Amino acid sequence: MKLLRHLLRSPGFLVGALLLLATLLLAFLPPLLMELDTSRRAGLAYMPPTSGRWLGTDHLGLDMFALLVSGLRSSLYVGFLAGIVATVLGTLIGVYGGYKGGWIDDVLTACTNLFLVIPSLIVLILLSGSLQEGRSLTLIALFIGCTTWTWSARAVRAQAASLRSRDHVALARINGYGTLGIVCLHILPYLLSYLFMVFILQTASGILTESVISMLGLGPYDTVSLGNLLNQAIRNEALSDGAWWAFFPPMLLITVIAFALYVLNTSMEGVFNPRLRK
């Protein structure tokens, strides 16, 4: 409760939360209020915004607003799923290594470092490139999660290692708890706020990564996402046609989501950390 009040008093948190809320509303509210069809042509190619079609049309004459809303939903989905996968993987590996120490830790750290030096974007590009039809949103999200967990593993490992030497863990051991019990009951609770922050960052990076690979044309197949929209806009000369409404809104949305998540993360760090130090 006190924490919440502290958070609400931090301007960064407020800005981040409001922006995030706005994007979520944009993603989920319009379909309830109006009919949005992303497959029916609403006019000619690249028609500028009018009062009826807020964001004009794309190169096929589809309604840009409908595309944007649906793309936003896909991007959020990919981001959150990738964030969850990366956080869970990273946490498992980081906490286990950090708590166990010794050779197990050495092996897991070596693995993490190996994954860290492999440029994940290139792996992703190769992976997506080798798959064609099968590139579903979920698959892309899993790929992203499986290549970006290293960051959270390292962060979590350091925290778990410092908790390991605390007496309450020693007490749990001589109370007869096994490794699983100690990790779940005596280490993870202390990391919860930290894990939440890790998750937010992983989500942000998931969304950004998805847009990059989609922009390169290797994104989810046959699905609208913010990155895909950008890719389409570039490929179909929206830039030279001066059709700013085809690429500017998706770009803006990507920036806004990433910004909101990063701001949320930093503001939470300011509030959580004094407690962590205690």
Partner 1 sequence: MPAILEVEDLRLHYLTRLGKRVQAVDGVSFQLQPGEILGIAGESGCGKTTLVSGLMGLLMPPLHLSSGAVRIAGRDILRLPPAEVRRSVLGRDIAMIPQGALNSLNPTRKIRDLATDVILAHDEGADRRAIQERLRERFTRIGLEADAVLNAYPVQLPAGMKQRVVIGISTLLNPRIVIADEPSSALDVSSQKAVIQLLFNLLDEGIVSSMVFITHELPLLRHVAGRIAVMYAGQIVEIGTTEQVIFDGRQPYTRALMGSMLSAEPGQKSRKPVAIEGAPPNLGEPISGCRFAVRCPVAQPDCPQRDQVLREVAGRHVRCHHAH
Partner 2 sequence: MPTDTPCFEARNLTRAFGHGARRKVAVNDATFTIAEREIVSLVGQSGCGKSVLAKLLLRLEKPSSGDLLYHGRPIAESGDPRAYWRDVQAVFQDPYAAFNQFFTIRSQLKACFRLFDRRPPEGEMEERIDQALLAVNLRPRELDGKYPFELSGGQMQRLLLARIFILRPRVLIADEPTSMVDACSRAGILEYLMKLKEELSMTIVFVTHDIGLAYYVSDRLFILHEGRIVEQGTPDDVTQRPTSPFTRQLLDDIPSVHRPWVSRVGAK
Say which entry of partner 1, partner 2, none residue 9 contacts (CB below 5 to 8 A, set by partner kind).
none
What count of Cα atoms within 13 Å lies in the side-chain half-sphere of residue 50?
A: 8
CB of 154 to partner 2, least distance (A): 20
Name the nearest CA neighbour of 76 among 248, 243, 223.
Answer: 223
Query: Which of residues 19 and 161 has its CB atom nearest to partner 2 in the complex?
Result: 161
Number of alpha helices (DSSP H) and beta strands (DSSP E) in the chain: 12, 0
Shortest Å, Cβ 154 to partner 1: 14
Shortest Cβ 161–partner 2 spacing (Å): 13
Q: How far is CA 46 from its chain centroid?
A: 31
Q: Does 173 bind partner 2 (CB under 8 A)?
A: yes
Among 130, 138, 162, 255, binds partner 1 (CB under 8 A): 162
Out of 132, 176, 222, 278, the only residue in the binding site for partner 1 (CB under 8 A) is 278
Total of chain residues touching partner 2, rule CB under 8 A: 15
Q: CA geometry: angle at 197 spanning 196 and 200, to 5°? A: 90
> What x/- string results for residues 247 through 276 when contact with partner 1 is judged by CB under 8 A?
------------------------------
| DSSP codes joined into one string, 183-211 | IIIIIHHHHHHHHHHHHHHHHHHHHHHHH
50 in contact with partner 1 (CB under 8 A): no
164 part of the interface to partner 2, by CB under 8 A: no
Helix (H, G, I), strand (E, B) or coil at 151: helix
Pairwise CA distance, residues 260 & 252, whole Å? 12
DSSP secondary structure of 67-107? HHHHHHHHHHHHHHHHHHHHHHHHHHHHHHHHHH-HHHHHH
Q: Which does 5 bind (CB under 5 to 8 A by kind): partner 1, partner 2, none?
A: none
DSSP tag of 49: P
221 binds partner 2 (CB under 8 A): no
By rule CB under 8 A, what string of x and - marks binding of each residue 174-213 to partner 2?
Answer: xxxx-------xx--xx-----------------------
Our finding on whether 168 is near partner 1 (CB under 8 A) is: no
Q: What is the DSSP letter of 272?
A: H
What letter would DSSP give residue 57? B
- Shortest distance (Å) from residue 277 CB to partner 1: 5
Binding site for partner 1 (CB under 8 A): 2, 162, 277-278
Binding site for partner 2 (CB under 8 A): 166-168, 170-177, 185-186, 189-190
